[in-house]
Amino acid sequence: MTLFDSPAFEGHESVQAFHDEKTGLRTIIAVHSTVRGPAAGGCRMWPYPSSEAALEDVLRLSRAMSYKNAMADLELGGGKSVIIGDSRTEKSPALFEAFGRAVEQVGGRYWAAEDVGTSPADMVHARKATRFIAGLDGHRAASGDPSPVTAEGVFRGLVLAARRTFGGGLDGLTVAIQGVGHVGGFLAGKLHAAGAKLVISDVNAEASNAVAAATGAKVVEPDVIFDAPAEVFAPCALGGAITLATLERLKVKVVAGGANNQIASPEAGRVLFDKGLLYAPDYVINGGGITNVASEIRALDRSEAFDPAWVETKLARLMQTLDEVFDRSIDERRPTHVVADEMARARITAARG
């Protein structure tokens, strides 16, 4: 893969790779845009099969953060980092301290937080080496784990999409959730409390069994989730759940979930729309977590305490934005994700002045 020619590169400001010999850290930090403010986005730890796969992933995720932060109306640009490694066996405090040193070298143009494979506990070690880490517990500006706020945004967005499609609440509807980790697990609890029936899958049986015990959800094998008789599909695992093949199998009318990069290809995006499914664009509906993180960055910059009311105001505004995306998609007869991309780019361009 050549860097500048990659479709995922799309105007990145910087892409830096760091290696720490002592801890074995290999990390890539991508800053897509700082036009709206310093770039902010999570740090993903994953056993990528190659450095090319890691690079491709960080570029796609970083650009998506620019769009996500713009749609959440945050004064932040977009960036992301990946650590190449197995989060179950290769984590250590020293590794995350080395990651913190890498973030420090980016000089405040990138703020990191947790993502798939990393946790607030890991980021505590990173913070020893840099102040540009958010999503932590234990200080007055701290916003804690963003996952419950992400799940709250996904829940509200899912309710909005379901109301538009089925004309009522969640009572009696079945939601199929792929992946019940942090976001999917919290989402399952909220959907259950709102009266939805649940079908869930997770490659980690411990996670799916725990959620099933708490919510009465039916557990199915990971590959079978696409065939589940359900009204709503909520992808909450990794990216790429919506493919031409899975679209053949999905019986739902709404796709609304927390995962990033849900649509695997432009063709899949087109078919999703042509089949008449209502898709809540991933980076819009899952913007609650970064909003929570943004509140911490804001509080740290102003030496203030964490302000949950600010988060709630932004979350309510995010749902209005999602509603606007749905409206424009109907008016313009264009897919929701195409409309959202255009709105995000317009917001970034407007900030450039």
Q: How far is the CB of 353 from ligand NAD (least distance, A)?
A: 29
CB-closest chain residue to ligand NAD: 181
For the range 320-329, what are the long-range contacts, defined as Cβ-Cβ under 8 Å and sequence gap of 24 or more?
321/71, 321/72, 321/73, 321/284, 322/157, 322/160, 322/280, 322/281, 322/284, 322/285, 323/160, 325/281, 325/284, 326/160, 326/161, 326/164, 326/278
80 is known as an active-site residue:
yes
Closer to ligand NAD at the Cβ: 159 or 276? 159
Q: How far is the CB of 69 from ligand NAD (least distance, A)?
A: 12
Q: How far is the CB of 34 from ligand NAD (least distance, A)?
A: 20
Closer to ligand NAD at the Cβ: 179 or 335? 179
Closer to ligand NAD at the Cβ: 205 or 350? 205
Catalytic residue among 68, 80, 190, 197: 80
Q: How far is the CB of 231 from ligand NAD (least distance, A)?
A: 19
**What is the C-alpha separation between 184 and 206, in angstroms, rounded?**
14
Contact present, 330 and 278 (Cβ < 8 Å):
no
Reading the block at residue 183, the tokens are 């976001």
Q: How far is the CB of 335 from ligand NAD (least distance, A)?
A: 20
Q: How far is CA 51 from the centre of its chain?
A: 22
Other Cβ atoms closer than 10 A to 22 = 8
**What is the C-alpha separation between 244 and 231, in angstroms, rounded?**
19
Which residues contact ligand NAD by CB under 6 A? 115-116, 146-147, 150, 178-179, 181-184, 201-204, 207, 222, 236-238, 258-260, 286, 289
Closer to ligand NAD at the Cβ: 101 or 218? 218
Closer to ligand NAD at the Cβ: 116 or 343? 116
Residue 1 CB contacts under 8 Å (≥ 6 apart), including other chains:
52, 55, 56
Residues with catalytic function:
80
